[in-house]
Amino acid sequence: MSSNYINKVAIVGAGGRSGGPMATELLKTGRHTVTAITRHDSTAALPPGIKTTKVNYDDPATLVAALQGQDALIITMNTQAPPDTQSKLLRAAAEAGVPWVLPNEWSPDTTNPGLCQDVFIFAKAGAVREEIRELGVSSYLAVTTGFWYEWSLAIPDAFGFDFAKKTVTLFDEGETRMDISTWPQVGRAVAALLSLPIKAEGGEACLDHYRDGNVYVSSFCVSQREMLASVLRVTGDKESDWTIKKEKAVERFEAAREAMQKGDRSAFARWMYTRVFYPDGSGEFGKSKGLANGALKLPAESIDEATKAAMERARTNPYA
């Protein structure tokens, strides 16, 4: 890089739920050239103003060529993507000499031993970070956001809210708090992070401070009870208009795990989400690790506005 700032950013998944806001916010800064790395047969809609480079994941040379000259690579992808996809990107980034990589984290705290022990999908992130270190070329910035609020609140198996039936299942007493983020906040966090100087200038935050570490951001730290209070404010309902059930978090998690072992793939969301609601502080990473919200100058958000967005998704298509 010819300056103390990142200029050229490549992003995988720029047309996705989290990748789209990242690309949009990066373009808004006016200081980044953003290139979407897409499959050769992709028809995904992309934010206006973004460049596009098509690749073939079965031909590593196309990945290396696409990443030549890039200052940073952002990886966002579905958990159902082929398991070696991210590794192919990391190896190509190393061969192309990309200095910074933001791996496919965007999740609860994947450095938490309890979460990683109980939920294999969180444990995989540690192996990805280790692969980046072993390749020895790129530095990583692992952005920890918690679950996505608009996505998760809209899905009954996630946070326990069924808006169509006006039913909520509280895990334990519904008072365990967790850090979670909205998609716009994730986009702002990435754009702010990659707009920092690499080396410190005048005592301000810099990328070197976060090099090869996790960057913790969130929109809210809330419990199910606080989510319900927001839902009631948004709808004008009374609590008595809702059916409130309770289920022990540990029992819910174990039941979902047993269902998965018997082949019930629909139990995956119940299993993954419920573990973060254990009352062991694993979901409240801001309290244990600290947040970068201040250093990145992220705005405070309205949880009620985010709840409205989630309810609209639940009304139309929560999986879209």
DSSP H or E run through 315: helix 303-315
How do the domains of the chain map onto residue ranges?
8-145+182-216, 149-181+220-288+295-315
| Region of residue 312 (left: phi > 0; alpha: psi -120 to 50; beta: else) | alpha
- pLDDT at residue 210 in the model: 98
Note the pTM of the prediction, 2 decimals. Answer: 0.95
Fold (topology level) of 149-181+220-288+295-315: UDP-galactose 4-epimerase; domain 1 (3.90.25)
DSSP string, 235-274: H---GGGSEEEEE-HHHHHHHHHHHHHTT-GGGHHHHHHH
pLDDT band at 275 (very low <50, low <70, confident <90, very high): very high
What does the block give as tokens for 179? 């850090």
Q: In Å, how far from its chain's centre is CA 55?
A: 24
Answer whether 146's CB lies under 8 Å from 283's CB. Answer: yes
- pLDDT at residue 206 in the model: 97
Residues 74-91 have a mean pLDDT of: 92
1 compared with 211, residue with greater pLDDT: 211
pLDDT band at 169 (very low <50, low <70, confident <90, very high): very high
Residues 109-115 have a mean pLDDT of: 97
- pLDDT at residue 2 in the model: 52
What does the block give as tokens for 174? 């519904």
Residues 108-130 have a mean pLDDT of: 96
Contact residues for 319 (Cβ-Cβ < 8 A; gap 6+): 155
Residues 36-61 have a mean pLDDT of: 92
- pLDDT at residue 1 in the model: 47
**Among residues of the chain, what percentage have pLDDT more than 70?**
99
CB crowding 268-298: b at 16 or more within 10 Å, else e? bebbbbbbbbbeeebbbbbeebebbbebbeb
For the cut 70, the answer to whether the pLDDT of residue 62 exceeds it is yes
Compute and round to an integer the Cα radius of gyration of the chain.
20
Task: State the virtual CA torsion across 61, 53, 39, 185 in degrees, nearest 10.
Answer: 120
Distances from the Cα of 85 to the Cα of 63, 105, 108, 305, angstroms: 11, 14, 21, 35
Architecture of domain 8-145+182-216: 3-Layer(aba) Sandwich (3.40)
8-145+182-216 against 149-181+220-288+295-315: fold identical: no
